[in-house]
Amino acid sequence: MAPVASSSTLDPEYLLSDPKEDEAFPTFERRASSRELISKYNDEFALKNTEKTYEQQYASLYFLRLTVLKPRVSKVAAEAWNGMSILNQEVKAVDRVLDVRQGEFCWIVGTVYIEMTLKPNILDEITKEFWTTAPISKDKFADAANDAIMLEDESGRVNLVGSTIKSELLVTGCVVAVLGSETTSGDFDVVDIRFPQLAPQLPRKMSTGHERKYVALVSGLEVSGDVHESYETSMLFEYLMGELGGSDDSKHASEIIHVIVAGNSFSNRRSPVSRDEESLDNSQRKKKKYGYDSSSYNSKPTEALDILLADLSASVSVDIMPGDQDPTNYSYPQQPINAALVPRTRRFLGSSFRSVSNPCWWDIEGLRILGTGGQPIDDIFKYIEGDDRLQMMEACLRWQHCAPTAPDTLWSYPFRDCDPFILNETPHLFFAGNQPEFKTKIIVGEDGQQVRLVAVPKFSETGKIVLVDLESLASEVVTFALNGTGR
């Protein structure tokens, strides 16, 4: 198994000191890399304006999800429960939820739905609009004492009870199989549960050379374009271009063959209010709400990020993925950021720069990578009482779905022909951007699949990026901070 992680912090005293007379600065050549977008998955994330419509209902998305995942979880459940006896009763499979009979031990497959009293609803939005006191915003939807867990299929819905079901990490939208019996009150008392587990995984194409190759994962840059832009951001881009530190740092940077910028690259801070704007009373300001207001537009984040990306793309291949505060659609999947926003960087399109969707699949040097800007993990976080981001990421893989809470609490497009978030294969590397801290681990599937999970921290808050070795899957944290301790 690969090492879990290592970390390094660039020495600020060395960076600020004068070069030594006998110090040599050799140049290192960055190696070319094979970096392909996996079109058979990414094409399903693309929403063409000529075909996009919101006339259909979201129910078809859940139906498609259950249709695809039911045979997979049924296979796992049949291997575990077929031939089992409980209280001298042979357990049998029931095809529909409404076919369950009281007192008979059986297992059923369906989509989980959790009725949550703290979950936002449209009435809260109306309250915010028309009343002076808005409802208190909730970081968590979970309320174990009052939440009701249900299982539904095309025939109906049944309430799930029992200590087994309460102890599992479940969210609305995941497809599971449950074993148990119907109680006198009409509930289904669960004694065991099964998930689809990890999907098949393609074998890795191992390199024959001895050179190290890394992919750099950067998230949450939140470039503002202010005069006092963070020193850490400047240090980061200089490091990635091989222009920061000594010869060891330059050599290490030359081993980075690809950079993925995973969401929230733009700062969402508004431009400073002008004196003329300050002199307006509230009634005058509200008149501008639906019109173009130049005072509220701030072009500095776009211009500053464009300069940084153009310089970086001249040195190494770069993919930029949107996040929930970047200038693209808010609903999932997010479409690529329009290259017109970065005119300097746009000249590298088709060579060393790409704007990709969120989520996105890559094949880099034979390593299959699935990445997200972090919204699905942040949404699952609201469903549970804990804060183990890696557990949530692992659950997504075992559910074979990278955005299970869409479209219930994670806004998404109402697909009617497919559910693009279903995982038909297991990646070798699965990362989530914009997480509160760095975490990583390797999980192993029943058929020998191995996946490196990486929670990529927000750079604007931690000053950290993650490097993943494409050969060993070992992960390394590089910290950029003038005081050597991070932000």
pLDDT at 15 over 60: no
**Is a pLDDT exceeding 90 seen at residue 229?**
no
112 closest CA partner among 160, 183, 60: 160
**Between 378 and 120, where is the model more confident?**
378
Task: Using CA atoms of 320, 315, 43, 327 in order, give the dihedral in degrees to the nearest 10.
Answer: 20
Tell me, letter by letter, the H, E, C secondary structure of 275-331: HHHHCCCHHHHHCCCCCCCHHHCCCHHHHHHHHHHHHHHCCCEEEEECCCCCCCCCC
The structural domains of the chain, ordered by start, are 35-53+201-270+299-479 (3.60.21.50), 59-194 (2.40.50.430)
Most confident of 8-17, 129-138, 374-383: 374-383
Which residue bears the tokens 């949530």? Answer: 392
pLDDT at 296 over 90: no
Model confidence at 240, pLDDT cuts 50, 70, 90, reads: very high
* Cα separation, 251 vs 239, whole angstroms: 10
Say whether pLDDT at 455 is over 70. Answer: yes
Amino acid at 312: L
Over residues 213-228, mean pLDDT:
87
| The predicted structure's pLDDT at residue 238 | 92
> Is 215:364 a contact under the CB 8 Å cutoff?
yes
Q: 290 vs 82, which has greater pLDDT?
A: 82
Partnered with residue 453 across adjacent β-strands are: 430, 441
Q: Is 154 exposed, middle or buried (0-12, 13-18, 19+ CB in 10 A)?
A: middle
Which of the four pLDDT bands, split at 50, 70 and 90, describes residue 275? Answer: very low
**Is residue 484 over pLDDT 90?**
no
Question: Mean per-residue pLDDT for 366-381?
Answer: 94
Global pTM exceeds 0.85: yes
The neighbouring-strand residues paired with 479 are: 9, 464
pLDDT at 1: 39
Asked if 443 and 427 count as a contact pair (C-beta separation under 8 A), the reply is no
Query: What is the mean predicted confidence (pLDDT) over 176-185?
Result: 94
Exposure letters 90-116 (e unless 16+ CB within 10 A, then b):
ebeeeeebeebeeeebbbbbbbbbbeb
pLDDT-based confidence at residue 462 (cuts at 50, 70, 90): very high
Q: What is the mean pLDDT of residues 445-469?
A: 95
Measure the CA–CA gap between 252 and 228, rounded to whole angstroms: 28
pLDDT value of position 89? 85
Q: Give Cβ neighbours of residue 207 (< 8 Å, ≥ 6 apart).
A: 213, 365, 366, 470, 471
Cβ–Cβ under 8 Å, residues 342 and 266 = no
Helix (H) or strand (E) holding 59: helix 59-81
Q: Which amino acid is at 135?
A: P
Residue carrying the six token digits 């984040």: 301
Closest Cα partner for 381 from 372, 390, 373?
390
Q: Is the pLDDT of residue 116 over 90?
A: no
